[in-house]
Amino acid sequence: MAIILRLDRVMADRKMSLNELSERVGVSNVNLSKIKTGKISAVRFSTLNAICKALNCQPGDILEFIDDTPP
């Protein structure tokens, strides 16, 4: 099972920088950068909620499931 993070794509679509999103969400640039690059193992719902509110998107716009188990 693989969860792919698409935060970078959504930010680009909204033309929002990491610094701007950090200010709106109240999460450090470092932590948002880790989410953006997929170098995390968990995201708090409160953080996901704040990101979705700032980007005016749904969680499914940011998170994608890809089944990587062999058939």
Model pLDDT for residues 8-34, shown as the tens digit of each residue? 999 999 999 999 999 999 999 999 999
71 has a pLDDT exceeding 90:
no
- The residue range of the domain holding 61 is 2-66
The pLDDT value recorded for residue 68 is 83
Of the two residues 71 and 29, the one the predictor is more confident about is 29
Q: Is the pTM of this model over 0.85?
A: yes
Domain harbouring 15, CATH code: 1.10.260.40
**Closest to 62 (Cα-Cα) out of 2, 3, 15, 22:** 3
Model pLDDT for residues 41-63, shown as the tens digit of each residue? 899 999 999 999 999 999 999 99
Instruction: Report if residue 71 sits inside a domain.
Output: no
The domain tally of the chain equals 1
Instruction: Report if residue 45 sits inside a domain.
Output: yes
The pLDDT value recorded for residue 1 is 57
